[in-house]
Each structure stands twice: as C-alpha cells, then as structure tokens.
Structure 1
Amino acid sequence: MTDSPAAANNSTPAKIGLMVLSFGGPNKAEDVVPFLENVTRGRGIPRHRLEKVGEHYFAMGGKSPINEQNLELIANIEAELARRGADIPVYFGNRNWEPYVEDTLLRMTRDGITQVYVFATSAWGGYSGCRQYHEDVARARAAVEKAGLQPPTVERLPHFHDNPTFIAQFATAVEAAVAELPEHARETADLVFTAHSVPNVADDEAGPHKFGGNLYSQQVLDSARLIQQSTRFADRPGSAATEGWTGQLASGKKVGGRPDGPATTGVPAGIDMGSGTDLDVEMVWQSRSGSPHTPWLEPDVCDHIEARAAAGNTRAIVLCPVGFITDHMEVKWDLDTEAKEAAEEAGVPYVRTATPGLTPEFAAMVVDNLAALIRRPEVLAPSEGLSEQQEAARAIVARYGTVPNFGNTVNGSPCAPGCCGAER
C-alpha cells in the first residue's frame, strides 16, 4: 500500500493497519482492583487503598464504559474507511487492560501488517496523554521481538487539539446543551471548561524543551478558547473566569501552569488573550488522585461550582468536558454525578455538553489524519471537504490558535530529546 520508513529500500509495499490505542478500563467488578494495579504499577499502593480508589467503579457496577466506546469508535472508523474504499484493517489495543497493546501488535504482526499507524485516544501532549503512549508502542515492539518476530514499523498520528472537526463537534455540543437549559437561564448562562488535572511537575515538563513546558495545559486552554469562539459564547468568558484557572494563575496563586501562557503559548496571534480579556475562558480541572500533598492543576470543578455559589453567583453552567473525547468514567462519575450534585446543592442550573468521539465526523477526522500520513490517495482518499461549521472552525483556529501539536513519532521515540521528562 505505502512504503514504511523501514521498507524505504524494499520494493515490496507495506501492508497497512491502524491501531486505536487507549487507556483501558475494567469490564466487571472483579477486574477493578487488578486494573488499578496495572494503572499504579511501581507505586507501591496497597490493595485496600486501591479498593477505596475503585469505589466509583464499584458504584457503577464495576464496568468502565471506555472499552465499549472505543469499539464503537473503531466501528465508525471502519465504516468511514469502507465509504472511501480503503482496505485498511483496524485493531484495538489498551495500556492497562485487555486487549493489551502488546497482544494487539503481536496479532497485527502475525496478520502480516508491516506498517502500523496508531491513533491514541488523547488530543494532548504531556506524559500520560502522549509520551506514555510512545512507551506503550516501544514496549509492544519489544514484545514482538521477544516472540521471535520482526516488529512492524509503528507511526503515531499527531495530536489533534485544534483540529477544525474536533473544535466544530464540541461547538455543536455546546449549542445543543444550551437548548437543554430552562429558557429563563439560557441568556445568562456561563460556559465552563474542564479537563483532567495532572501534577504540576508533570505539566511543567510537558512538551519538547523548545516549547518551554506546560504543553498539556496550554493545548487544553487553546482548545477551550477555540471552542468558545465557535459558539454563542464568543468574546464572552464565564462570569467567574477570574476565579477559574487562568484568573488565579494571573493573580499569582499556586494553581500550576505558565503565568504568561494565555498570551504567549506558541505562535503570537497579535491579540491579547490573557486573563480579564474577552478571549479568556472559565477553565477548571477534575479527577485528581494521589497524595493530597502533591500540587496538581487547580481549581477542581466541584470546588469551583461551590465557590461560585458561595459568592452569590447562581448563573446556569454549561460544562464542556474539553479534555475527553468520550463519556468514560471521569465524565460519568466526576461530572454527571459529583459535579451535577454540587450544582444541585448550590441551586445552580447545570448541563454537561456531549463529547465528540462517537460521531461520524470524529471518525472522519481520524481517517483524514491517517490519509495525511499515508499520502497516497489511491490507498486512502482524503476527505471531500469540510462542512460549513468546520470551515468556520478552521477560520477560528487560523485566527486565534497559538499552540502547536506534536506526537507524530515512529517506533515509540519521544517527540524530541527530553520531551515530557524523557531521558535526553
């Protein structure tokens, strides 16, 4: 189909396969603790503590929705590939639960795949969202070698935090969520963004050294701003933005991140995007874990909702889970349970927007990104063009986007020497 880097001097064309690579999750109650042992491998966390951590899994029957959601995403990608007449098989691999990435790559090798492309279900840079997927690839290739086979060349698709389709799908979800609010609450509602928190030290190390750190939080901030500018909330940050992450960061509070980030994240846009401007966003974080003594990105979404209400701000909240592509456990539990309860107790109208990962448009985005790497339309045709909303989002990205994407590496290599704390 197309020549891989390893087969550049080989006249035999490579056989291409796509792997959807994700975090993984338990499928039943008995899986919860073993799954968490995989997640926390090497940290020495006792079993009784893992059982405590797993309570939200047990509360939902011990089953994470993530695996079935990834299978649905794969089905959507397969349908899009078939629509374009592309004969490219799609496989499923996980880091922390079955099907493990090592087993999947071994299966692909035995199926004769010599060029593997990997779509990691994370839009972001940073250790857990990017570099750890590279480590997964390297570990899987080593497992294939240990089995006495020649591992395929494995190339990861890049980050997609500012892809016009990604932005447009979230923007559509925001508009749909507003319509779910009581009519009297819509006009004054606030758009609030949330993403998975990470330790400050991990965010400080995120990205190649040339970027200067904090790639994860800056990409999340960039996405949030682009989504906001693609909706009715354009030029209208939430009324509690100064109490959100960027506002607290600008005031010198220890909430993690780069103080200059909102304005100087990459390519200068020639527009003031800092705290207190019309292009600010109301950004919060969620799902932190580990020692309470370790600083993580703040404020927490539930703490923020409670603080808004305590200050007398009971405007409706449209919560956009920008950090997630599907409604897995951190969305179902942390937002649809805990954050919703916090809003109800505070007397605040609350609605959570849908995530984009299971839409046909998202699958088409994945296939487009794959086609851009293959670069052979006779193997995989590019898309037929963007919709009107996607074109509008592309214009927004061109005007306001300031943060680069990385992630496109081969055979598990880091994006750059020292990237995300990798050894130089």
Structure 2
Amino acid sequence: MTPETPVPNASPACASGEPYANGPQHYDAVLLAGFGGPEGQEDVIPFLRNVTRGRGIPDERLEEVAKHYRHFGGVSPINAQNRALKSALEAELAARGLELPVYWGNRNWAPYLPDAVRDAADAGHTRLLAFATSAYSSFSSCRQYREDLARALAETELGSKVTIDKIRQFFDHPGFVDSYVDSIVESLLGFMDDGIEAVGLRVLFATHSIPVEDAQRSGPRDRDFGPGGAYAAQHLAVAAAVMERVASRDARLSAIEWELVYQSRSGPASQPWLEPDICDRIEQLPAESVEAIVISPIGFVSDHMEVLWDLDTEALEAAEAAGLRAARSATPGVAPAFVSGIVDLVQERLEGTAPEDRPAATSMGPWFDVCRPGCCENVRAGFKPAVAGVAP
C-alpha cells in the first residue's frame, strides 16, 4: 500500500475507495471487535477510565456510573457474551466449510484489539475481515471502531503487513432484524391472552442516545437522512421492518403502535442528545390509554450493562411506577438467525457478491463495504486515521 491509497490498510478489493468491494477477496481470519467490560469490582474504575480517556473525568464522577456495574458484582455481561458469540461464529464458519479462525479484541478492556491483531499476525493471518458488535452508523458505533483498528495497527507496527476490511453495517440484514421478532410476538400475545387489547399495547424500540451533533453527522455527508442523521433513520427503518414481521405472525398485532425511544444519555445537561428518553415516555403513556409495553433493545446485539441497568432496572421500575405492565424482549445474542446472518456477511465478502444481490430488510440497504469520506465525524475530536473507509 502507498500513501496515495484512498483506503488505508485495505484489501485489494476495497483499496480503490469504491463503495462496494470490487470482487471476491481472500481473508485469513475474522476479527471480532467489541466494546469490552469489567470482570470484577477492581476492574470497574480502570475500565471507566478507559471508556472516558481524554475527557478528564475525575474518579468521583466515574463512581456514579460504577454503581451500575457494582450492582452486578462489578461484572459486565459483555465479555461473556462475546466469548459465546465467538464460539458460535466459529461453529457456523466450520459448518459451512470456511476455515477462518475468529480473533477477538476490545476497545476498553482485555482482550484488547492490538493484542488480537498481533496474535493474528503471529499466526500468519494478515488479511483480516472485522465485525464490530454494533449494527448502526455513528461515531461511537462505527467510525470509532474503525479508528480503534487503525490504532491497533499503529501500536503493533503491523500497518505494512496486515490489511483490515470491515463487513458492512448490518442493521437491516434479515438475520439481525429477524432475531428480534419471536420475543416481541411472544410478549405481545401474552398480554393479549391476559385480556389487553391492541389499543392498550405499545412497543418501545430502545437504543443508546447520542449527542444530536454526532447524530446529524452519522452516515455519508452527501445524503440528507433527516434531523437524527443516518443513526436515527436506520433505527426507524429497522423498527418498521421488525413490526412488519411481527404483524405477519398474527393479524391482531398489526394494530399495535410502536415508537423509537432513547436511553443511557450522559454528558452535560446543556448538550442536546437524541430524545425522547424512554423513562420520560413511559411516564406519559398511561395518559394515552396504554396499559402494557414491550421494550425491545433494538440498538444492542446482546444484553449489555445498558440493557441490564437502564432497561431491566430503571425502565421497568418506571413502568411499575406508571402502573404499566412491561416486558423486555430479547436481544440477538447468539440466536441462530443472527449468527448465520453475520457469517452470510462474511461469505458475501469472500464471494464478492454484487450489491444488487445482497439481502436487505429496508430500503436503506445494503450499506457500504467502504465508509464514505467524512462519514460519522466526531464533532469534538475531528477525524483520526481509520481503516475500512475513504479518508476525509
């Protein structure tokens, strides 16, 4: 690769900077990129320091967030979930005859991404295809992972030896969308069996809130996605696709209303973040004749701490206080449809599947293999080197 290459550290199929890979590509391994989480009480504050690095947040303020982790023994479920996902991906790859080992590294806690990249290179695996455990477009859910991967190459000094591509954003791949449906249907029909009619039910699709400025810069800069950028537009499209599938299971479910809500906001109160907040909406719903809600964590691939605390604890407590019955539906986790869908995306890149032949559950997809110039800018820090995208 030369300095003039539009996409740094890319495979030959992606180095030109075109939106989609220009043909089949050989890969040596899959790289699972995660967020990471503490695995004991002594890990919590060091982990939160990693998460907030560069922001100068004192430990006293970090301890306010630490209580969420300490409530669960200082252990985030995310590492165990990624271990399970790694094993499930390995099994599915093997079942398809794809001899691709899966390496796993995190942004904020061990095992770290530089170690995973180094381990892969030491084993002779230098052409990597990354899968980040986040389905949507924004700085924190896409570009930051691409920057993490570039930093891993820089720290290991393997940039001249290792190439890293990334599977496309999978928010509307059928395997991801379908994995939410069964649990939502089960919860809604359970409420109906208890005598609650469709008019009294509401599905709240929950995702992590992000600063409005970041949301507006999510996705390619040459397309208007609306006030919430690609991040909000993608979630709305996926929620609609999920509810379309829900309605196909039972005609009574077609009348149930749904909406997108946000959770887990942080930062100064003066900074606008995407709204409405889930607990605020729950408080308002009894006045709209809602009797029961199903909360679907559509922004999460597994039961992260934000699901266990912000939804299973705070949101369910808000529902109880409002006199609402509530159920929290399942995340994809290691559901067969989700795992199979991720391997479909790996195979798509191995085979060089043309964009028009790729499955997509919404009109927004299939998303790009190579992120576009200026995509998902971090308003506060600007652009840093990143793999799997055209440099701004």
TM-score by length of 1: 0.77
State the alpha-carbon separation in 2 of the partners of residues 99 and 150 from structure 1: 23
Structure 1 residue 159 and structure 2 residue 169: aligned? yes
State the alpha-carbon separation in 2 of the partners of residues 357 and 14 from structure 1: 28
- 8 A Cα contact 1:21 1:120, kept in partner: yes
Matches of residues 175-214 of structure 1 in structure 2 within 5 Å? 175-181=185-191, 183-185=194-196, 187=198, 188-212=200-224, 214=229
State the alpha-carbon separation in 2 of the partners of residues 35 and 127 from structure 1: 20
Partner residue in 2 for 1:325: 301
- 8 A Cα contact 2:294 2:327, kept in partner: yes
State the alpha-carbon separation in 1 of the partners of residues 190 and 71 from structure 2: 27
State the alpha-carbon separation in 1 of the partners of residues 222 and 290 from structure 2: 42
Q: Are residues 178 and 327 of structure 1, via their aligned partners in 2, closer, same or farther at CA, if it must alter by over 3 Å?
A: same
State the alpha-carbon separation in 2 of the partners of residues 186 and 76 from structure 1: 39
- 8 A Cα contact 2:36 2:106, kept in partner: yes
Match of 2:142, SS state, is helix
- In structure 2, which of residues 305, 320, 327 is the aligned counterpart of residue 344 of structure 1? 320
Report sequence identity in percent: 42
Structure 1 residue 315 and structure 2 residue 326: aligned? no
Q: Are residues 297 and 359 of structure 1, via their aligned partners in 2, closer, same or farther at CA, if it must alter by over 3 Å?
A: same
> Which residue identity is paired with 2:363?
T
Partner residue in 1 for 2:240: 225
> Which residue identity is paired with 2:72?
M
- 1:313 Cα deviation from its structure 2 partner: 2.8
> Which residue identity is paired with 2:241?
L
Deviation string, structure 1 residues 186-206 (Cα, Å, up to 9, x no partner): 644222211110000100111
- 1:129 Cα deviation from its structure 2 partner: 0.6
State the alpha-carbon separation in 2 of the partners of residues 86 and 186 from structure 1: 48
State the alpha-carbon separation in 2 of the partners of residues 190 and 282 from structure 1: 8
State the alpha-carbon separation in 2 of the partners of residues 216 and 375 from structure 1: 29
Q: Are residues 192 and 98 of structure 1, via their aligned partners in 2, closer, same or farther at CA, if it must alter by over 3 Å?
A: same
- In structure 2, which of residues 373, 377, 381 is the aligned counterpart of residue 417 of structure 1? 373
- 8 A Cα contact 1:179 1:186, kept in partner: no
- 8 A Cα contact 2:209 2:264, kept in partner: yes
- In structure 1, which of residues 296, 301, 311 is the aligned counterpart of residue 278 of structure 2? 301
Q: Are residues 151 and 28 of structure 1, via their aligned partners in 2, closer, same or farther at CA, if it must alter by over 3 Å?
A: farther
Partner residue in 2 for 1:17: 29
Matches of residues 323-402 of structure 1 in structure 2 within 5 Å? 323-375=299-351, 397=361, 401-402=362-363
State the alpha-carbon separation in 2 of the partners of residues 88 and 376 from structure 1: 17
- 1:292 Cα deviation from its structure 2 partner: 1.4
Q: Are residues 5 and 149 of structure 1, via their aligned partners in 2, closer, same or farther at CA, if it must alter by over 3 Å?
A: closer
State the alpha-carbon separation in 1 of the partners of residues 122 and 208 from structure 2: 37
Deviation string, structure 1 residues 48-76 (Cα, Å, up to 9, x no partner): 00011211111111100000001111111
Identify unmatched segments of 5+ residues in structure 1: 239-280, 378-393, 410-414
State the alpha-carbon separation in 2 of the partners of residues 6 and 142 from structure 1: 22
Structure 1 residue 101 and structure 2 residue 113: aligned? yes
- In structure 1, which of residues 114, 120, 138 is the aligned counterpart of residue 126 of structure 2? 114
- 1:315 Cα deviation from its structure 2 partner: 1.7
- 1:328 Cα deviation from its structure 2 partner: 1.2
Partner residue in 1 for 2:18: none
- 8 A Cα contact 1:15 1:112, kept in partner: no
State the alpha-carbon separation in 1 of the partners of residues 352 and 82 from structure 2: 27
Structure 1 residue 403 and structure 2 residue 364: aligned? yes
Partner residue in 1 for 2:387: none
Partner residue in 1 for 2:21: none
- 1:127 Cα deviation from its structure 2 partner: 0.3
Structure 1 residue 236 and structure 2 residue 255: aligned? yes
Partner residue in 2 for 1:242: none
**Consecutive aligned runs of 4 or more in structure 1 exceeding 4 Å deviation:** none
Match of 1:356, SS state, is coil
Q: Are residues 302 and 149 of structure 1, via their aligned partners in 2, closer, same or farther at CA, if it must alter by over 3 Å?
A: closer
State the alpha-carbon separation in 1 of the partners of residues 95 and 153 from structure 2: 31
Match of 1:118, SS state, is strand
Partner residue in 2 for 1:59: 71
Partner residue in 2 for 1:142: 154
Equivalenced residue count is: 349
Match of 1:230, SS state, is helix
Matches of residues 18-33 of structure 1 in structure 2 within 5 Å? 18-33=30-45
